[in-house]
A and B are shown apart, each in its own frame.
Chain A
């Protein structure tokens, strides 16, 4: 009876998570060779140089900011939160996909994550670093930004813990710390591999130092796996809390368009939406350039596209509820916010937002678009633009039409706004180029566990 039932189960043919013919040795060689033996290519130097120029532009923009103050930006009353907050929310949202892939998909036993979690975690770390720049320089006197932390001081006062901005300080700094630890400790067994493979004594010494003397003992692996699982369990509620707290920065305020309970889930979904778009924009060129199609397969791209489609609909639902509540609440300021989005001076941005985040991504329903890497790359770019516009509309369009007609105004970004924004893109890419050059961008030991030989069934 049991036998018969088994025969009736028809398994859907699945695209495997790894190309055929790999052994523990070939996986190790292929990934570690990118770091250890592959010569630095011209393309890498060119890409790094461009990114580094972006980073220098950021430093120039920030230096001028420190000299002149935030007046060099387009912000003024009523729009006091300009690009800085838009970019902060955008970057921190991008980081969320890395934690989702490394922690939540680990808990859900999605083994396809093993080949993309390492660089997605690196992406998280660098995106959080870019995000962290903005609130620090936006406070106006950045050299006093440390006042945000509760330290014993001669002024005998403490930060105001009832403010969501203080919650944000704790949420984002916890997130940065845990992401960095998760990434660094995940690297340790692979650094031991690089230490043992390195051909020069200097490389061996440097990788050996960061490998902490890892030797793969069974006792060590056991504690390591327990730690990794617990850290994933801790990072999962953390990542959901971070964008929730970011949305509190808005939702706790009384500005029409901000004061709504849909914000936390809608922000978290939007964060994952844009994060997966960034994962794809990084994964598609990387797998092409480094010939990693065996490890980052079409199935990975397709799964990521499906996650985007799902989170995109949650975001669309958020837009729908915002519009519905604008009408249903009967509050004339809320109703005006909706009208202003559709007909106000920034209406073209609202329609671009709807196209970028809702209409164009529907192409992902079609399988051909999910498996064609060039189209997927373009759709991901469109989603990243759309998510940036979403934050612009939340911040600027809500603020520029205040309760009093007399305090209405417009926000026009200056060249310094753009230089700072594109500068952080330079910071992000510089860090990423360095990462793929000196560290294994795919987790080697987790890839080994995907092979059938790694599964030992104890009788």
Chain B
């Protein structure tokens, strides 16, 4: 309209149920590049925006395996290879004594992978994001629910998409400047 690049079209809803319903209808209408925002996790919303592949468990599994191997091999190498110490006549590779630290290292690496893996997959930290340009979006962390159709969607059209979103029974519809 005024020549500024547009990030997408945002509709505001006043309940989680309304947002979920609207998201499903938007998906059915053929829009694929959409996202929904809520002040708490809403069951089924991620599926409705077309999110089906959560890689966090895989990241945690890999982290845990690496942690366990690191813990055990570190102790094995230090106690049995690099500097074997005779402690109370136990064999250098006294594996039962190594289990506790192997376990702790598994948990440590898996936990760190869980947190930082989630952040990385989510693209966080990201201090600036176009959705924050809409003043009403400040309520997304309180009690309002938002749906955005990105302008990169093939079916996106400033007039048609607005008309479609107004038909979803929202509180308001606004364009998101990028």
Contact = CB atoms under 8 A, between A and B. Distances in A.
A and B: interacting chains: yes
A87 B18 CA distance: 54
Contacts of B143: 23-25, 28
Contact of B79 (A158, A213, A454): A158
Given A24-B143, A230-B114, A234-B107, A458 B87 contact: no
Contacts of B127: 208-209, 212-213
A319 to B, nearest CB: 26
B171 interface: no
Contact of A213 (B42, B128, B142): B128
Contact of A160 (B20, B51, B87): B87
Contact of A162 (B23, B79, B121): B79
B54 A226 contact: yes
B35 interface: yes
A454 B49 CA distance: 18
A161 interface: yes
Given A158-B83, A161-B78, A212 B46 contact: no
Chain A, interface size: which category?
35 or more
Contacts of A166: 101
A449 interface: yes
Interface stretch (A78-86, A214-222, A310-318, A320-328): A214-222
Interface in B118-176: 118-119, 121-122, 124-129, 131-132, 137-143
Across chains A and B, which 8 residue pairs bring their CB atoms closest together, nearest first?
A24-B143, A222-B46, A212-B125, A227-B118, A213-B126, A158-B78, A458-B44, A221-B41
A456 interface: yes
B41 A222 contact: yes
Contacts of B49: 218-219
A445 B56 CA distance: 21
Contacts of B83: 156-158
B73 interface: no
Contact of B35 (A156, A157, A189, A217): A217
9 contacts: A161-B97, A208-B127, A213-B124, A217-B122, A218-B46, A218-B49, A227-B118, A234-B60, A458-B20
A456 B140 contact: no
A224 B82 CA distance: 42
A245 interface: yes
Contact of B132 (A150, A160, A215, A445): A215
Given A23-B143, A221-B38, A162 B105 contact: no
B22 interface: no
B66 interface: no
B45 interface: yes
B39 interface: yes
Nearest to B108: A174
Given A25-B143, A192-B141, A234-B107, A219 B100 contact: no
Contacts of B85: 160
A205 B9 CA distance: 27
B94 interface: yes
B39 A24 contact: yes
B100 A241 contact: yes
B54 A222 contact: yes
B31 interface: no
Contacts of B138: 196-197
A170 B38 contact: no
Contacts of A14: none
Given A212-B119, A217-B37, A230-B114, 16 more contacts: A28-B143, A150-B78, A158-B78, A158-B83, A160-B87, A185-B118, A212-B125, A219-B35, A220-B122, A221-B45, A222-B46, A227-B115, A227-B118, A454-B16, A456-B43, A458-B44
Interface of A: 23-25, 28, 150, 156-162, 164, 166-167, 170-171, 174, 177-178, 181-182, 185, 189, 192-193, 195-197, 208-209, 212-227, 230-231, 234-235, 237-238, 241, 245, 248, 445-446, 448-449, 453-456, 458
A230 to B, nearest CB: 5
A224 B75 CA distance: 34
Nearest to B54: A226
B82 A219 contact: no
B56 A223 contact: yes
B54 to A, nearest CB: 5
Contacts of B78: 150, 158-159, 161
Contacts of A208: 127
B57 interface: yes
Nearest to B90: A162
B112 interface: yes
B108 A177 contact: yes
Contacts of A230: 56-57, 60, 110, 114
Nearest to B92: A162
B78 to A, nearest CB: 4
B15 A193 contact: no
A23 B41 CA distance: 16
Contacts of A221: 38, 40-42, 45-46
B107 A216 contact: no
A198 to B, nearest CB: 10
